[in-house]
Structure 1
Amino acid sequence: MAYQVPRMDELQSRAWLALVWTAELLPAALDAQLQADSDMTHFEFMVLSTLQQAKGAALRSTDLAAAVNSTMPRLSRVIGKLAERGLVERRGTEGDARVKIVHLTTAGRRELVRAVPRHIARVKELVIDRLTSDELEGVTAALEPLVERLDPQQRVGFGERAASG
């Protein structure tokens, strides 16, 4: 018999463990593919993708950290590495040099465009193509309310964000 989470019935336990293990295993699989094919981590891909989707391909570092669900120290380290590779630029704002705006460079956009086809193919291989349309609808219906509950301020994702300052 499979492990059952205490204080949950069998269905609750199976659902919870499937969600937890997906959340643990999927990022590692995506990271491995991106590192092998594009020499970037999944987190770096998310940072570049978020910047590409932002108005003007730029965000304040604090807004970028929220959008990718990161701490500022982690984001700062990654932005530093991406800047060394010429994929992003950090700029101060007029009037307040402490506020940093992170801009996606032309080289960063180019690297992202190169990475997307293989990355999406891997996402489809691992997840999308394994589910029927009805199952995809079910996953969406189940997970979107959880995301709303976990992020009521709608900080993460690709909302309309402008680099202010």
Structure 2
Amino acid sequence: MSDDAQDSHERAVAALETQIGLLVRRARAFSTSVAAEVHPDLDHSAYGILQRLATVGAERTTDLAAFLGVGKPTTSRQLSQLVELGLVERTSDPTDGRASLVRLTADGSRRFARVREDRRANLRRQLAPWADEDVESLARLLERFNDLGAGRPDPQQERAAD
């Protein structure tokens, strides 16, 4: 890589770092707000569990923790709060009687769906001026970026290596 290309790459990485920092701060405030909309006593850090369970249905605690990138004790503590609030329930795993699964209760599913629809409607309004291709590109690039943190290989780098 030439010096000019390296400098350009460094500037791009620095700009990305700044934007990620801003996104994280705004995401924290956003998650606090939407968690309170689901239930006034819901800790914002547990909102991601509701989001995951709404997507996959039922899941083991260990798999949930791995997906979220947090330890099992953290996930267990958050699940305890969600169970106490009546948003999540534990059930036995039909494939392994020693294990249990967690899933949204009917109330948890209803509350989460309402908040998710409000959130998506807000996003639709905010992104209305954007071209569909730009929204799709942003979603694709964020997925690719998030995959880096999940330990999954970058498919573009794999294709380049072939």
Counterparts of 2:117 and 2:141, CA distance in 1: 27
CA distance in 2, matches of 1:142, 1:153: 14
Are the equivalent residues in 1 in contact too, given 2:34–2:115 (CA < 8 A)? no
Q: Is the 8 A contact 1:88 1:104 kept in 2?
A: yes
Mapping for residues 40-119 of structure 1, pairs under 5 Å: 40-54=42-56, 57-93=57-93, 95-96=97-98, 99-119=99-119
Give the match for residue 3 of structure 2.
Answer: none
Greater relative contact order: 1 or 2 (C-alpha under 8 angstroms, separation 6 or more)?
1
- Please say if 1:23 is aligned against 2:24: yes
As a proportion of its length, which structure holds more helix? Answer: 2
Asked if 1 retains the 8 angstrom alpha-carbon contact of 2:54 and 2:104, the reply is: yes
Could you tell me which runs of 5 or more consecutive residues in structure 1 were left unpaired when the two chains were aligned: 1-7, 155-165
The equivalent of 2:157 in structure 1 is none
C-alpha contact 1:87 1:109 (8 A) present in aligned 2:
yes
Alpha-carbon distance between aligned partners in 2 of 1:131 and 1:42, rounded to the nearest angstrom? 29
**What is the distance in 1 between the residues matched to 2:35 and 2:130?**
23
- Sequence identity of aligned pairs in percent? 23
Instruction: Give the TM-score of the pair, scaled to structure 1.
Output: 0.67
Tell me how far apart the structure 2 counterparts of residues 111 and 53 of structure 1 sit (CA, whole Å): 14
Larger Rg: 2
3-state DSSP of counterpart to 1:59: coil
SS of the equivalent of 1:101 reads strand
Separation in 2 of the partners of 1:123 and 1:82? 26
Quick one: distance in 2 between partners of 1:124 and 1:41?
Answer: 26
Tell me how far 1:122 sits from its aligned partner.
4.0
Q: Is the 8 A contact 2:88 2:103 kept in 1?
A: yes
Measured in 1, the distance between the counterparts of 2:74 and 2:128 equals: 33
Quick check: 1:60–1:100 contact (8 Å CA) kept in 2? yes
Deviation at 1:151, TM superposition (A): 2.1
Which residue of 2 is the match for residue 162 of structure 1? none
**Paired letter, 1:143:** L
> 1:121-140 maps to which residues of 2 (within 5 A)?
121-124=121-124, 128-129=127-128, 131-140=130-139
Aligned length: 143
